[in-house]
Every structure is written in C-alpha cells, then in structure tokens.
Amino acid sequence: MSQTTAPANAEKRYTVSRADLPLSCPTPEMALWNSHPRVYLPIDKEPGGECACPYCGAVFVLVD
C-alpha cells in the first residue's frame, strides 16, 4: 500500500488558506518519517497572518 506524500520541510516558505486550518507543521500532506514532531501553529491569530515553525523555521503565510 503506497501513499504519495510531499517531502517534509522541503521549502522554507509556504502559503496557506483558511481551508488549511488548523495549520500544523509538518502539514498532513508531508511525509512524517523524516521530520520533526507535529506542532500546531496559530497563524489565524498572528498579526499579518504569518507564522514560523519553532522546529524547522519554515514560514507559513495566510493568504485569505
């Protein structure tokens, strides 16, 4: 049984929409085997709609 997932933490900047909330890093689409523990990010409460992951430093930007 094979499931295709994106590489975890491959990029440093991601755009997300409200449909993606609640936001976690790594996201559900990312492979977990080679990543850090999942952490939920309160991007909708951040000024400017931007939040960084405390583990990998990836920046997520809320676009809507």
Q: How far apart are CA 41 and CA 4, in angstroms?
A: 24
Q: How far apart are CA 4 and CA 39, in angstroms?
A: 22
Residues 9 and 30: beta-carbon distance below 8 Å: yes
pLDDT tens for the chain, residues 1 to 64 = 445 666 666 778 999 999 999 999 999 888 777 789 999 999 999 989 999 999 999 999 999 8
- Show me where the domains of the chain are located: 13-62
pLDDT, position 54: 96
pTM: 0.79
